[in-house]
Structure 1
Amino acid sequence: MSDSNLHQNTSEDQGVPSGAPATTGTAPAPENVPGEGEHKSKTFTRRSVLAMAGCGVAGLVVGGVLASWGVTSKSIASGRIEIRTTPTKMIVTDRARCSGCQRCEMACTLKNDGRVCQHIARVRVWPNYNFGTNVGSTDGAYGNCEFTVEHCKQCEDPACMNYCPVHAIYADEKSGARKVDADRCIGCGMCSQACPWNMPVVDSETGVSTKCISCGRCAEQCPNGAIKFIDWEDIAQKVIDQGVVRTTTLVQA
């Protein structure tokens, strides 16, 4: 791509579509020129901006873009920090900050179900509270007191959606999160069985499966800042502000 094809974006160029492409890869190829004297422009999405700089999550860590959220190569290597990317969010969980208070579980169910019910919470601390993910992990109350915060991974190819016999799980057009259609769901529990982490759970009161919709309520209510929901748009703007990559619009001459 020549320098003549890259132009600095104006503020209105920076709107970001709801769809989010993969975090790695190259910029899209130019479309065919429609005619003499005409041109087309394509504004890059938040993830495309990062991909152009060769950023992915590793690049964001090395470049220090995520440092303000406590994310460093050392913290990731130690297992203290986990980063999970979703269609429109980056979720950073800091196990060292988690006190095991389960406020995230309470906030989640209050917002989504109208009651406090640990069993159906979309974010979970309690199942691994004592021993971590397994007895030998040294985490949890009986280990180093670093608690595991589990949440839906919003998989690109979700097993819960693939194995639902009535196609009750779908990708939300705006957020990209996998949601459950309560009117379709028959409460069979196949989604929970198919998920490697058993994240969807059937609510015994409603007979409908529950799962994370990336609403971010758990992060808002965490008193220690152990969970952060970061918009891809914010991350893209930060790499621009720090000079890692500039905002660009592809223009065909």
Structure 2
Amino acid sequence: MEEKKGASEQLVDSAEKAPTEGKAAQGGFTRRQVVIGGVGVGLAGLIAGGALAKWGVVEDSIASGRIVLDPMPQKLIVTDRARCSGCQRCELMCSLRNDGRACQNTARVRVWQNYNFGPGGESQDGIFGNCQFTVEHCKQCKDAWCVKNCPVHAIAPDPETGARVVDPEACIGCGMCHEACPWNMPVVDTETGVSTKCIACGRCAVQCPNGAIKFVDWKDIAQEAIDKGIVRTATLVEA
């Protein structure tokens, strides 16, 4: 794909310098920019330019709180809260995929804790409000607190996906990752004594019956930016 440089998007991992071409840059969307000629177009620019419109991401939907964006190293998770019926199938399929059993407590995607109300219990969300459920995912932070606070260094980026994952052989189940995470996303499985954490497998999106969760590849976003004329060539880098 080297010969296409200057004609189509290049996806470069400048932070971790992954050896495999086609990998998106690591980190969250506040650190991502689609750049051309050294000039960065951040996520706000992509939204305003319509590069994310095909996935339902427009300025009004963001402002209303209907659409929530969560970044992954290779994907952008787009959650349409108005489409979420609160069925919790995402939690079920996540735990079946990762733990081999249905277990709400270990699911890497969370709906149940915001089922009645939104975060903090002060919003009008949930079944006692406007029925727009809050779906939470691991943010796969670049400078992740769970990684920094694990005493045995059991959490590290996966070389293929870039997702911060738990090594079950190294994990001692101390729960420090859960306490350190601002969203308390890692949870120690009481049956195995090992911490559970999102691996960006996308099963929640595939199994959502209403299409409320979408995993969008950064490469597709870059290509859409090119197609919309926002940029001529696109490189995803750390900003």
TM-score normalised to structure 2 length: 0.85
CA drift at 1:51: 2.4
Q: Output the CA distance in 1 between the equivalents of 2:53 and 2:234.
A: 25
Match status 1:9 vs 2:7: yes
Question: 2:15 matched to which residue of 1?
Answer: none
Deviation at 1:71, TM superposition (A): 1.0
Summarize the Cα distance change of 1:100–1:21 in structure 2 as closer, same or farther, 3 Å threshold.
closer
- 1:153 and 2:153 matched: no
What is aligned with 2:169? 183
The SS at the match of 2:215 is strand
Tell me the amino acid that sits aligned with residue 96 of structure 2: L
What are structure 2's unaligned runs of at least 5 residues?
12-19
TM-score, L = length of structure 1: 0.81
* Unaligned residue ranges in structure 1 (runs of 5+): 1-6, 26-46
* 1:51 has 2:56 as partner: no
Give, as a single letter, the amino acid of the residue that structure 1 aligns with 2:124: T
2: CA distance between counterparts of 1:147 and 1:101? 10
> Which deviates further from its counterpart, 201-210 or 77-86?
77-86
Is the Cα contact below 8 Å between 1:82 and 1:94 reproduced in 2?
Answer: yes
| Number of corresponding residues | 221
| Letter matched to residue 244 of structure 1 | I
Q: Quote the offset at 1:59 in angstroms.
A: 1.0
Offset of 1:24 from its aligned partner? 7.4
Q: What residue is the counterpart of 1:61 in the other structure?
A: 47
Contact 2:80–2:212, Cα closer than 8 Å, also in 1 = yes
- In structure 1, what is the equivalent of residue 158 of structure 2? 172
2:25 corresponds to which letter in structure 1? A
Kindly provide the CA deviation profile for residues 12-71 of structure 1, in whole angstroms up to 9, marking residues without a partner as x. Answer: x7794425167678xxxxxxxxxxxxxxxxxxxxx66x1226322101110111111111
* Aligned-partner residue type, residue 79 of structure 2: T
Counterpart for residue 185 of structure 2: 199
SS for the counterpart of 1:137 is: coil
The residue identity in structure 2 corresponding to 1:177 is: A
- Aligned pairs (5 A) from 1:68-79: 68-79=54-65
Q: Quick one: structure 1 residues 214 and 21, their matched pair in 2 at CA, closer, same or farther if it must change by over 3 Å?
A: closer
Provide the C-alpha distance between the structure 2 equivalents of 1:229 and 1:222, rounded to a whole number of angstroms. Answer: 12
Partners of 1:136 and 1:188 in 2: CA distance:
31
Task: Provide the secondary structure at the position in 2 that maps to 1:92.
Answer: strand
Secondary structure of 2:87 counterpart: coil
